[in-house]
């Protein structure tokens, strides 16, 4: 089958590689414009663009697909992209973490007679966690399960009918990084199953999403990473794992910003439970105990400014050696 693929990050690139390996022909790629990143703030291509260029696939990078945009330059970009899509021969579109909403006129191109439509890989069990950050929000909320839905797209925000769905358990030590990788594998497999079924002219069963249980996964803000030690150990632990790798949980210790990437709930009751929230209580074999508003958390992986991620016991050894216990702000 001939596929138009729209996506940007590594999650999308993994699906793209699987589609290519399965023998389907990707005839055009839509991806976000190159972004500046790193210390030198150089322009970097998205993982999807990188793979497309390796495979000599044509790439379009409009900043919007809305042909009614008020900005003249953006409107011209959108019109140019639309005209190229309109003239292209393809069988279906696949959209994965693209970052731009597809307007109805673009969806209509994929729904033309003889085509199968537009399919999206979404990393949640819809209708739970529609939106931009379903992986992080599922961990932050303490969900026990998540999964992947292959959705037949419509103009709404993740509101289309589901054609394939698979669940997995969220492990108690799960981070967004580890869950991302497991869901990316699952999504790549499911989209290939979907395209293979379409290619064989097998009918897909479209299941409308339930009207109950809708929730939205708002985009992650950098400011959310700052730890509030007044929260319970359970809430702080979930946030640390949810925000690994981005934006990374953070706290200030002795005026120094500390990134915190991994944690666990303390396995045993510790002394000094009258300590103030944020107080370092001592060390374990794997990390450092900190008092929370309710309960104690064990920080296991930290990063000091300019340093590498390391075991919290090693990273915070100076504070542990002080006679008076240190406290996170």
Binding residues are 124-127
Q: How far apart are CA 35 and CA 12, in angstroms?
A: 17
Determine contact, residues 120/150, Cβ cutoff 8 Å: yes
Provide the β-strand partners of residue 303: 259
Longest dimension (CA), the chain: 76
Rg from Cα positions in the chain: 23
Distances (CA, A) of 13 to 6, 20, 184, 220: 10, 10, 9, 21
Determine contact, residues 120/156, Cβ cutoff 8 Å: no
Joined tokens for residue 114: 């003889």
Name which of 259, 273, 249, 268 is nearest 315 in CA terms: 259
CB atoms within 10 A of CB 145: 11
Residues 6+ apart with CB under 8 A from 123: 11, 134, 135, 146, 147, 148, 180, 183, 187
Distances (CA, A) of 287 to 55, 62, 79, 268: 45, 46, 55, 14
Name which of 257, 263, 270, 261 is nearest 328 in CA terms: 257
Name which of 98, 261, 248, 244 is nearest 178 in CA terms: 244
Q: Which residues make up each annotated binding site for (6S)-5,6,7,8-tetrahydrofolate?
A: 124-127
């Amino acid at each position: 089958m001939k596929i138009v693929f729209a996506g940007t990050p590594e999650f999308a690139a993994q699906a793209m590689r699987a589609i290519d390996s399965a023998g389907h022909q990707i005839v055009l790629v839509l991806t976000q414009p190159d972004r500046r990143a790193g210390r030198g703030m150089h322009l970097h291509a998205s993982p999807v663009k990188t793979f497309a260029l390796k495979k000599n696939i044509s790439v379009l990078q409009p900043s919007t697909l809305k042909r009614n945009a008020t900005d003249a330059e953006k409107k011209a970009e959108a019109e140019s992209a639309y005209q190229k899509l309109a003239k292209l021969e393809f069988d279906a579109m696949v959209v994965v973490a693209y970052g731009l909403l597809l307007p109805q006129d673009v969806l209509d191109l994929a729904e033309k007679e003889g085509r199968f439509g537009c399919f999206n890989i979404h990393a949640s069990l819809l209708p739970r966690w529609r939106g931009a950050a379903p992986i992080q929000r599922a961990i932050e909320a303490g969900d026990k399960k998540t999964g992947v839905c292959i959705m037949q797209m419509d103009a709404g925000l993740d509101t289309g009918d589901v054609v394939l769905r698979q669940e997995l358990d969220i492990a108690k030590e799960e981070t967004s990084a580890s869950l991302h990788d497991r869901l990316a594998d699952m999504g790549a497999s499911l989209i290939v199953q979907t395209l293979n079924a379409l290619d064989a002219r097998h009918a897909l069963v479209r299941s409308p999403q339930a009207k109950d249980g809708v929730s939205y996964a708002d985009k992650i803000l950098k400011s959310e990473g700052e730890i509030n030690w007044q929260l319970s150990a359970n809430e702080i632990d979930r946030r640390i794992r949810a925000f690994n790798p981005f934006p990374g949980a953070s706290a200030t210790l002795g005026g120094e910003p500390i990134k915190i990437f991994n944690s666990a709930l303390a396995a045993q009751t510790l002394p000094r439970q009258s300590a103030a929230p944020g107080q370092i209580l001592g060390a374990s074999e794997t990390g450092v105990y900190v008092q929370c508003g309710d309960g104690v958390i064990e920080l296991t992986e930290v990063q000091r400014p300019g340093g590498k991620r390391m075991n919290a016991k090693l990273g915070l050894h100076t504070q542990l050696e002080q006679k008076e216990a240190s406290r996170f702000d």
